[in-house]
Structure 1
């Protein structure tokens, strides 16, 4: 355990002084039945933590997180344990499994720090064109990225497998080579990581070290059930508080202090934010009435335009040992697909919980609708009979930019602990499917490249490796390199998630350009649910940046200042 991790853990403990619930027990004292703050943030995740830290500089902030602490949890902290948290299906797990209506197994965070506590760690910014298209101020966005990077971003070590993938990408024409950079640009690059040189994860929760502890109250295991609104005559509804339950199930109310600038801010993620809006009466009126929810604002766009970037991968067994690595290198192609890689027995074998283990739902050998728990159990049992040498190697994957295909989200119950129903419609749009085919062809070329040759058995062709990846629909695989129809079927049958889902509260239809919820006052949504497209090759850097960025913007508005140096 490194010193930075220890200090972070002690510091977080020191700020949880008011009303914190740790593993369902009171850390200091129980939350009062009623409390008052300038800002109430729902969700202590990738956006919520930097947002809370920033706002606390000049205002009182309540941060409500439905999960627990990421500290002193080796399954979160250590790179070598990646996936263990994702395989934990208990009610106390930092991840909550959900299965989309498409049949793809997925997960949502339930821990302080959000998805940054569970992901593969890749840190990369959005492209300048993305920042411009969204309408963010470029200077403040860059300042906000740097604020995040001082705490959580590192340069990864480049060892054998990752170096071979890097060189293979350049050999097959994914150029130029841009070296190590956080920037998003065409070609091949080494990106950042939130794992330090000792393999310890640094998360959005670590950004709370920049908070003013005198102004910040963090409540763990605090589940928000609804937002409270008040009306004055015929005026618009105004958010003025929330109802939440603590780890013991006791109900509490938190209200905004009187003041024109005070707000409730939802940062609960792409599943949680539209869910909370609907539970609070903002959403499609017909759907809300089915659940006996009083309609505050009829907005049919809440829960719409949901997207998840599809991922397809190929396992390449290696004749020589490989390092344990998560995502470090990326090939950013000009036709809308990103090529990445992970390696090491810890990330493929049956005795572990790796990035592509069926234990965490990443099962590509059967099509999505067939990925039942029985199928998962059978896959794990079958893999357990293989020798350890069968799992020496790694994966090369492609992720679709965007994507263009969209779906929707609906409530299943009024219980905020129950996952909503979500459909992503993977590859519904032909453009996404064509990008997958192109990306898989790049992967095949990298596998056959000279630069990668020492990590591939010479008697296994790239096509045979694809056949192994998709064991069930093997007859559908292409026999010729130009057989795109069969490759399209491969993409559909082996699709997995890379956990980059977004949408549901998008700018222009649910929130305005300042992330204020349309039709009501004193309420914003600030997180990935507002994105039209996933930024960069991994969104976490931009989600953290957005929390800081909007925190600065809100304080500027509050204080009537343009100073962004706090």
Structure 2
């Protein structure tokens, strides 16, 4: 018997497990389907390149065929390991824009405006630059500047300046717009995931159990109250009980899946699959959305400092392995997407509507395919897409993957902004600071040809949100306290609760959600 059962050992789950177990009078269990984060590929920042190829620590889901992508299925990697996707991502620390959170509050979610959430970002953060009005320096999550950035990352920033854009030295400061270096969740030359930041320091607490290799199959309900979970571990089904609450932190693809498997969701759809309906909640799995993204490649044979597949490149990597093993320095401390930009595609935009990630190598197929030679890549993503999709069940089998339909590029505004972003990025890549490279992908195409190229190459940049949307309406799943509507003792705390996606990478906001959720849970317990 536990007081709190937390389902999912990802970013928000690690925060909740650490924060709730600070009270020695409560018992907490964190349940993770994956294993412990022991792999060197996780801890070495550049290990993401090999993890992409091996599928290690990754659910590696796929979407259904996307009409907006000319019928292609998309790739949906999600972390299956302690730390969740913070253990397999590119480690970029971005919060988004203040307007994102003020929009959440304006949509009927009191306590979620920018002024409300900024203290939680600061509480989470230990920024090596020090504390100021925007940053914390006493939190568990280490945030830092890359100590040895690749020279081509700096050249990208100069190219942005040559194209007429201002340099921004802090994308998480007073304003987001501009070109600059990303800060990363590293420490001492290693990845600093949510597991390292929050969970590892708490593992010795006698009131915290971390259970790995445990796939939760459903929430156990007595009437309309959550009393525990059923899980599968080592081939054996078990039931764990919760005195106070069950908290789903399984992410935007699997938190709604678990609600549906538990009989909470659109009643007619559940009945059609043979799932007994406990509570007809039509919004479960709806409103899924993600940042649509496309990658431009540039071939640059003379850019030997980039990470490329060549004889010289292999020697540099071998030297980097030794340097990282001995001193945690050198080439393998890169996160590959070292610099980037937040830009407005048109002059009448009030704030940045696209984000760029400049990659110091030629990236295709999410890093799963080999491209010979040297060069660089540039991700272009739409920050506030209008397209909406859904997560549903393929079957009543809890071990079947969820059916994922992000609806990529279903809304014409998303396609227009992505095409504008491609042309803007091509202009930056053509500047003198990046001389020595060939023409970027899709150069010289007219609108019709560019639209076809975008639909043939776009996919996710790994930021699914919104499928257990927070709000006061009938189509919403959780209230502003993150309580599942109509069910007692059950909350959702992860990126699935976002009413609308933030303007940037979603890991830091998910950690913030975990921090705020911990306060909401503790406040509720104090009122009992």
Query: Shorter-chain-normalised TM-score: which range?
Result: 0.7 to 0.9
Note the 1:153-552 alignment, pairs <5 A.
Answer: 153-157=143-147, 158-175=149-166, 177-183=167-173, 185-196=176-187, 198=189, 200-206=190-196, 207-211=198-202, 213-231=205-223, 237-246=224-233, 248-257=234-243, 262-318=244-300, 319-324=302-307, 325=334, 326-335=336-345, 336-344=353-361, 348=362, 356-357=364-365, 360=368, 390-453=372-435, 456-457=436-437, 460-462=438-440, 465-466=441-442, 478=445, 483-508=446-471, 509-552=476-519
1:70 to 33, 37, 49: 37
> Measured at CA, do residues 316 and 265 of structure 1 come closer, stay the same or move farther in structure 2, by a change above 3 Å?
same
Question: Whole-Å Cα distance in 1 between the matches of residues 408 and 365 of structure 2?
Answer: 21
Matched residue SS, 1:451? helix
Shift in Å at residue 168 of structure 1?
1.4
Whether contact under 8 Å (1:328, 1:340) holds in the other structure is yes
Query: How many residues in Structure 1 have an aligned counterpart in Structure 2?
Result: 456
| Residue 91 (structure 2) pairs with residue 128 (structure 1) | no
**d(CA) in 2 for partners of 1:139, 1:197:** 32
Two-structure CA RMSD over aligned residues (Å): 2.1
2:1 pairs with 1:43: no
8 Å CA contact 1:121–1:327 kept in 2: the answer is no
How much does 1:154 deviate?
A: 1.6
- Any conservation in 2 of the 1:88–1:95 contact (CA below 8 Å)? no
Preserved contact between residue 29 and residue 210 of structure 2 (Cα < 8 Å): yes
Between 311-320 and 148-157, report the one with greater CA deviation.
148-157
Q: Give the Cα separation in 2 of the matches to 1:139 and 1:79.
A: 33
d(CA) in 1 for partners of 2:429, 2:356:
12
TM-score by length of structure 2 reads 0.82
TM-score w.r.t. the length of structure 1 is: 0.76
Q: Deviations over 1:478-533 (max 9, x none)?
A: 1xxxx323222221111122111122111121111111111111111110111233
Unaligned ranges ≥5, structure 2: 67-72, 106-111, 127-140, 308-333, 346-352
Distance, in Å, in 1 between the alignment partners of 2:10 and 2:425 is 33
Task: Specify the alignment match of 2:62 in structure 1.
Answer: 99
Identify which range, 274-283 or 485-494, moves more after superposition.
485-494
Could you tell me whether the CA contact under 8 Å between 2:99 and 2:114 is conserved in 1? no
CA distance in 2, matches of 1:279, 1:525: 15
| Alpha carbons 2:9, 2:31 under 8 Å: kept | yes
For residues 284 and 83 of structure 1, the distance between their equivalents in structure 2, rounded to whole angstroms, comes to 39
User: How far 1:142 sits from its partner (Å)?
Assistant: 2.8
Q: Secondary structure at the match of 2:239?
A: strand
1:149 is the counterpart of 2:136: no
Q: Deviations over 1:258-281 (max 9, x none)?
A: xxxx21110000110000000000
Contact 1:403/1:533 (8 A) holds in 2: no
Question: Aligned partners of 1:180 and 1:396: how far apart in 2?
Answer: 20
Match of 2:131 in 1: none
Distance 2:212 2:183 in 1: 29
Take 1:174 and 1:283, find their aligned partners in 2: how far apart are those partners?
A: 46
Name the residue aligned to 1:5. Answer: none
